[in-house]
Amino acid sequence: MNRFLVLLLPVAAIAIFNSCTTQASAKQSVVASNDTILYPEEKHLANVQQLTFGGDNAEAYFSYDGKWIIFQRTSVKSGVPCDQMFIGKLPKPGKKFEYKMVSTGKGRATCGAFTKDGKHVIYASTHLGADTCPPVPDRKKYGNRYIWPLYDSYDIFMADLNGKIVKQLTHSKGYDAEATLSPDGTKMIYTSDKDGDLELYVMDLESGKEVRITHELGYDGGAWFSPDGKKIIWRASRPKTEAAIKEYKELLAEDMVAPTNMEVYVANADGSNVSQVTSFGQANWAPSFFPDSKRIIFASNQEYKRGFPFNLYAINEDGSGFEKITHEKIFDAFPMFSPNGKKIIFCSNRNNGGTHDTNIFLADWVD
């Protein structure tokens, strides 16, 4: 549940263009149109490959060996009315990306990850609450603001690669989702509101024992361990004024949150030594570490007061070394480096034929 849906964006902002090749190199992929799979300024990306075509595909994350990805997908045309989890082996250049569903196909699923053994996945799902898609919030009720529902039927499950659930990892009443795993595969970090606020918890997968590691008012979510396992990174809201606190608590009481003002935070893996990395305002989110466990990549709309585009940016923990990575005109987010650091995967509205489709892109990383 780490998503900013492109439904927020006006159709007029999405250009109609001629489709370009999906296996283009950095030199040949730039076309004379308002959209492309690679923009001229994107010097850190090369050999960009579009993996999906059509629908809403997001939160694509690598397996530990870097050969597979897991992602969530909605495609009404394909009979997937709300997000389900899919996995696929990354294709060789020029080959089609094939994938299959590993969630139940019931309810709504989100936030998947492979286990260390490569034989299982974890993800959150509402299927125990109902077979049907849970209702979306009526944003008119909230002044047409962007609101996320915190479905209380979300729990986190472990399944094999054929979709058979082998274990239910969370059981609390309330929102349990946004799970990722530690580099050694033994621990899971996730978000829950079971203690009355949206906090981060770290669970030992074998024993099920867990500890809450955040304690400030606000939405703590989208957490990842650093590749060396020593730190965590996440995005958080921190309402400070009386009005902001009142609004946050009122929405939370209705199982809602407005994730439009968030910053990136880092801490030790046990939650100690918390440090705020960004102070840009607006929505700074979907952060993860570079392979060196020092630099950070994240998505943000901080350049644009109208709320979009979203692009990818890099920054050091101390706030230095700020750099814009992508230059998409609408939406880039969910960046993740491959385990060997040679590739990056992200999700984008680029090359979508003037639709609202969000697709998955894989690229070589160029330092």
Average pLDDT, stretch 88-114? 97
The token pair at 157 is: 């499950």
Share of the chain above pLDDT 90, in %: 87
CA-CA distance, 277 to 99, in Å (whole number)? Answer: 36
Alpha-carbon span 50 to 16, nearest angstrom: 18
Q: Which two tokens stand for residue 176?
A: 């349990």
Cα distance between residue 125 and residue 107, in whole Å: 7
Residue 319: CB atoms within 10 A of its CB come to 15
Q: Mind listing the pLDDT tens digit for each residue in 316-345?
A: 999 999 999 999 999 999 999 999 999 999
Rg of the chain over all Cα atoms, to the nearest angstrom: 19
Q: Does a cis peptide bond (omega within 30 degrees of 0) precede residue 309?
A: yes
**What pLDDT does 320 receive?**
97
pLDDT tens figures, 32-72: 336 799 999 999 999 999 999 999 999 999 999 999 999 99
Q: Which of 359, 358, 3 is nearest to 146 (CA)?
A: 3
> Sorting pLDDT into bands at 50, 70 and 90, what band is 356?
very high
Domains in the chain, please, with CATH?
A: 52-322 (2.120.10.30)
CA angle 21, 72, 310 (to 5 degrees): 65
Average pLDDT over residues 298-313: 94
Residue 312: phi and psi, rounded to 5, are -95, 140
* Res. 8 pLDDT band, cuts 50 70 90: very low
Kind and range of the H or E element at 286? strand 284-289
Dihedral sign from CA coordinates of 241, 298, 75, 219: negative
User: Using CA atoms, how far apart are residues 339 and 344, in angstroms rounded to an integer?
Assistant: 10
Residue 296 has pLDDT above 60, yes or no: yes
Residues 65-83: tens digit of each pLDDT:
999 999 999 999 999 999 9
Place of tokens 């308002």: 34
Q: Return d(Cα 162, Cα 102) in angstroms, integer.
A: 6
Average pLDDT of the residues in 114-125? 98
Q: CB under 8 Å to 87, separation ≥6 — which residues?
A: 68, 69, 70, 71, 99, 100, 102, 112, 114, 121, 161
Burial of residue 260, with CB atoms counted within 10 A of its CB: 0-12 exposed, 13-18 middle, 19 or more buried: middle
As a whole number, mean pLDDT of residues 306-310 equals 91
One-character DSSP codes across 207-271: T--EEE---SSS-EEEEEE-TTSSEEEEEE----SHHHHHHHHHHHHTTEE--SSBEEEEEETTS
Indicate the pairing of strand 332-337 with strand 323-324: unpaired
